[in-house]
Amino acid sequence: MAKKQIIPRQQNSGSFTKAISAIVWKDLRAEFRSYELISSMLVFSLLVILIFNFALELDIKTRQSVTAGVLWATFAFAGTLGLNRSMAIEKDRGCLDGLLLAPVDRSAIYFGKFISNLTFMLIVEAIVLPVYSILYNTNLFQPGLLMVILLGSIGYTAIGTLLAAMSVQTRTRDVLLPILLFPVAFAVLLAAVKASGGFLDGSGFAEIAFPINLLIAYDIIFISVSFMAFDNIVEE
Amino acid sequence: MHSKPITLKILDVASIILLLTSAYIAIFVAPTEKVMGDVQRVFYFHIGTAWVALVGFVFTAGLSVIYLITKDLKWDRIQVAAIEVSLVFFLITIILGSIWARPAWNTWWTWDPRLTTAAITELIYIAYFMLRQGIDDPDRRARFGAVYALIGGLSAPITFFAIRLFRTIHPVVIAGSNSEAEGAFSMTPDMLSAFFFALFAFTVIFIDLFWNRIRLENLRDEVEQLKMKVTM
């Protein structure tokens, strides 16, 4: 008996990662055929930066103090766009029901969507960063800053994926996601802006350590909460 | 007919008396603060409302967990009641703080970490009600609400501790000192008793409103079910 219980579990853990990678693979493949999501996120980000340019008059002096804020506002706006779309696709064509029917753990669906959303966000960031660096003549390619961007994006998409799964099932849909997401993700964005600003100013590690710890803590909290709560979101 | 339970009626009267007494103590009994003068009296109600609102928010996070485990709609109704009452109390906290800040800081509002996190907390629970409004199915509404309130509940304690983590001008009157605070003061024994009385009064008022709100929600539910019966 005991042996029988152990064997399916081992298979389960194997099929869990398999299920996750299958979902990620599906999302990436669909995306790289159409480039629907990445292109809209990318164009949108560039437009946001353009708007900030005129709204804040980004001359050399202001640029130094607001770069971190502008970057994160851009990533956050573009992120909601991507999160919304990625979930709406699933919902509209009944793909979500299909996924739910699959004999895999529900949390595998969450992790799959989370990883693909994170990938899209990182791709967009990887293009926006050099463009911003060239346009405003600031070097954004510092290992510390890149780490902060990675940590911030993880936290943001972790909770964003959960909330997007929620908002697509409501009457107000796309409108609701930013309203739900921004206040909750505020702490992540705040810590990310503080840490990024710290790296850009070249301040000491003692000052940056706290927001980075906060970021890591939030990443863990958001991933674990979403992991536990996702079942309740897609349950029918 | 469901008449109001007698305990609730007593609690109603008690809360009114406590509110009036607390106001009397804060205005006439507590000594005037030397530097800020009379405006400091707002502090008793500011902390009183903040206390119940923040406890309420954390409490709702616990209710979320209970609902998600039991899936009993009773807990959802309790949660809605708790969040609604806490939301109103927290709004009062912010408004009272603003009234105090005008003379003390010379501004109604400043983007201080403590104030910002307070505003964000308020927005989270407004978003909670917008989320609920967008869902028709009661079970799904309850599930989504519970998950969102749980996430929101993780942010309320941060509001309380933000003051100790970031540099802020918001005073820490209880347990701690903040050298950069503007408008800080230390409490005399008379002030302390007024303060604890306000805490007690608002706790009772909160429980009273909370209970009334749960009752309202239950009655509403019943009316809904009776309506369904009639149409069927």
Three-state DSSP state, B105? coil
**Local structure of residue B232 (DSSP, 8 states):** -
Interface of chain A toward chain B, CB-CB under 8 angstroms = 159, 162-163, 166-167, 169-173, 176, 179-180, 182-184, 186-187, 210, 221, 225, 229, 232-233, 235
Q: Give the closest-approach CA distance of A32 to chain B in angstroms.
A: 32
d(CA B145, CA B122): 16
Q: What amino acid occupies position A42?
A: L
The nearest alpha carbon in chain A to B124 belongs to A183
Model confidence at B159, pLDDT cuts 50, 70, 90, reads low
Q: What amino acid occupies position B109?
A: W
Which pLDDT score is estimated for B4? Answer: 84
Q: Pick A229's closest partner by Cβ from B133, B147, B158.
A: B147
Give contacts of B147 with chain A, Cβ < 8 Å: 162, 166, 229, 232-233
Q: Does residue B123 sit at the A interface (CB-CB below 8 Å)?
A: yes
Q: Does residue B148 sit at the A interface (CB-CB below 8 Å)?
A: yes
Contact between chains at A187 and B136 (C-beta distance less than 8 A): no
Q: What amino acid occupies position B50?
A: A
CA torsion, points B226, B229, B231, B232, in degrees to nearest 10? 170
Contact A120, A86 (CB under 8 A): yes
Locate A28 and state its tokens. 């990436």
Give contacts of A169 with chain B, Cβ < 8 Å: 135, 140, 144
Which pLDDT score is estimated for B157? Answer: 66
Question: How would you class B191 by CB atoms within 10 Å of its CB: exposed for 0-12, middle for 13-18, buried for 19 or more?
Answer: buried
The nearest alpha carbon in chain A to B144 belongs to A233
Q: Pick B151's closest partner by Cβ from A159, A171, A182.
A: A159
d(CA B198, CA A29): 61
Average pLDDT, chain B: 84
Contact B205, B55 (CB under 8 A): no
CA-to-CA dists, residue A174 to A165, B53, B92, B151, angstroms: 11, 30, 31, 20
Model confidence at B221, pLDDT cuts 50, 70, 90, reads confident
Domain ranges within chain A, ordered by starting residue = 18-234
Give contacts of B130 with chain A, Cβ < 8 Å: 172, 176, 179-180
d(CA B31, CA B90): 26
- Sign for the CA dihedral angle at A16, A21, A23, A26 comes to negative
d(CA A198, CA A192): 10
Give contacts of B150 with chain A, Cβ < 8 Å: 225, 229
Contact A59, A140 (CB under 8 A): no
Model confidence at A39, pLDDT cuts 50, 70, 90, reads very high
* Predicted confidence (pLDDT) per residue in B166-207, tens digit: 666 677 665 455 555 666 666 777 788 888 888 999 999 999
Q: Give the closest-approach CA distance of A202 to chain B in angstroms.
A: 19
The nearest alpha carbon in chain A to B147 belongs to A229
d(CA B72, CA B223): 19
Three-state DSSP state, B39? helix
Which pLDDT score is estimated for A137? Answer: 83
Which pLDDT score is estimated for B214? Answer: 92
Which pLDDT score is estimated for A4? Answer: 44
Contact between chains at A180 and B127 (C-beta distance less than 8 A): yes
Per the rule left: phi > 0, alpha: psi between -120 and 50, beta: everything else, B19 is: alpha
A20 contacts: CB under 8 Å, gap ≥ 6: A108, A111, A112, A115
d(CA A9, CA A7): 5
* Predicted confidence (pLDDT) per residue in B20-75, tens digit: 998 888 888 877 777 777 778 888 889 889 989 988 988 999 999 999 999 998 99
The residue ranges of DSSP E strands in chain B, in sequence order, are none
pTM of the model: 0.86
Q: Give the closest-approach CA distance of B219 to chain A in angstroms.
A: 26
Three-state DSSP state, B33? strand
d(CA A40, CA A38): 6
**Minimal CA–CA distance to A234: which of A118, A116, A109?**
A109
Model confidence at A29, pLDDT cuts 50, 70, 90, reads very high
ipTM over 0.90 threshold: no
**Local structure of residue B37 (DSSP, 8 states):** B
Give contacts of A159 with chain B, Cβ < 8 Å: 151
Contact B141, B148 (CB under 8 A): no
Q: Does the pLDDT of residue A157 top 80, yes or no? A: yes
Contact between chains at A221 and B154 (C-beta distance less than 8 A): yes
* Predicted confidence (pLDDT) per residue in A54-89, tens digit: 888 877 777 777 889 999 999 999 999 999 998 888
Contact A42, A128 (CB under 8 A): yes
DSSP output for chain A: -HHHHHHHHHHHHHHHHHHHHHHHHHHHHHHHHH-HHHHHHHHHHHHHHHHHHHHHT--HHHHHHHHHHHHHHHHHHHHHHHHHHHHHHHHHTTHHHHHHHSSS-HHHHHHHHHHHHHHHHHHHHHHHHHHHHHHHT-----HHHHHHHHHHHHHHHHHHHHHHHHHTTSSSGGGHHHHHHHHHHHHHHHHHHHHHHHHHHT--HHHHHHHHHHHHHHHHHHHHHHHHHHHHHH--
| Chain A contact probe: residue of B87, B131, B136, B167 with most A CBs at under 10 A | B131
Which B residues 125-144 touch A at CB under 8 Å?
A: 127, 130-131, 133-136, 140, 143-144
CA-to-CA dists, residue A84 to A40, A160, A166, B48, B172, angstroms: 12, 9, 10, 40, 41
